[in-house]
Amino acid sequence: MRCQNIVRRAAVAGVLGALASMAMLSACASDPRAGYAPTSTFDSTVSSVSVPMFRNTTATPGIEQTLTDAVIKQIQANTPMRVVQSGQAASTLSAVITEVRMRRISANNVTGLVQELAVQITVDFEWRDNRSGEVLKARRNFSAADSFVPSRPSGERLELGENAAAQRLARDMVNELRGAW
């Protein structure tokens, strides 16, 4: 008798598990704009992108190389698109770095010296379909910041803050290439 009860409970648990699985799958939408979907939120009609060196209108040398490389790596790692040369690409992502600035985050209560700084990078970018000439996404004054600690004992260099801010901005820019979701 006891074995039969265990078997019945296992059968009921199996049926309930199957029903729960079907309910979860039916909650997914075929279109990412309509809810959770098992499909990509990136535009499937654009299979490749060219990323020319970003223009730098600031007084911070080399930041354009750092940001361009970070964006390319984010596209390769997190999108279905291939990064190719400009003549072979279905689309082009271009950007102008308009501002790089440092903001004080914290200071020592006793000395007043800066303990933590944030590097903020601001860009204007445009993602254009090379076949139709249509602008797929464009953002002005798009920025991201990340912090570093130049004070002792850490003594982190400015380049660490610039690189961290470029990485964060690259992630945010690539996320902006997603469809409406």
Cis peptide, bond prior to residue 80, ω within 30 of zero: no
Please, are residues 60 and 84 in contact by the beta-carbon 8 Å criterion?
Answer: no
Q: Which positions ≥6 away from 150 have C-beta within 8 Å?
A: 114, 117, 156, 157, 158
Question: Is the pLDDT assigned to residue 23 strictly greater than 60?
Answer: no
Using alpha carbons, select from 94, 101, 135 the residue that is nearest to residue 119: 101
Q: How far apart are CA 181 and CA 170, in angstroms?
A: 19
> What class is the 40-176 domain?
alpha beta
Question: Is the pLDDT assigned to residue 18 strictly greater than 80?
Answer: no
Write out the two tokens for 131.
């076949």
Interval 54-84: pLDDT, tens: 999 999 999 999 999 999 999 999 999 999 9
Rounded to an integer, the average pLDDT of 122-144 is: 95
Q: How far apart are CA 96 and CA 58, in angstroms?
A: 10
- pTM of this structure: 0.75
Between strands 82-83 and 114-129, the pairing is: unpaired
Rounded to an integer, the average pLDDT of 27-35 is: 52
Q: How far apart are CA 86 and CA 72, in angstroms?
A: 13
Alpha helices in the chain (DSSP H): 2-26, 63-78, 158-176
Interval 100-111: pLDDT, tens: 999 998 888 888
Q: How far apart are CA 140 and CA 120, in angstroms?
A: 15
Confidence of residue 180 (pLDDT cuts 50, 70, 90): very low
Domain ranges of the chain: 1-38, 40-176
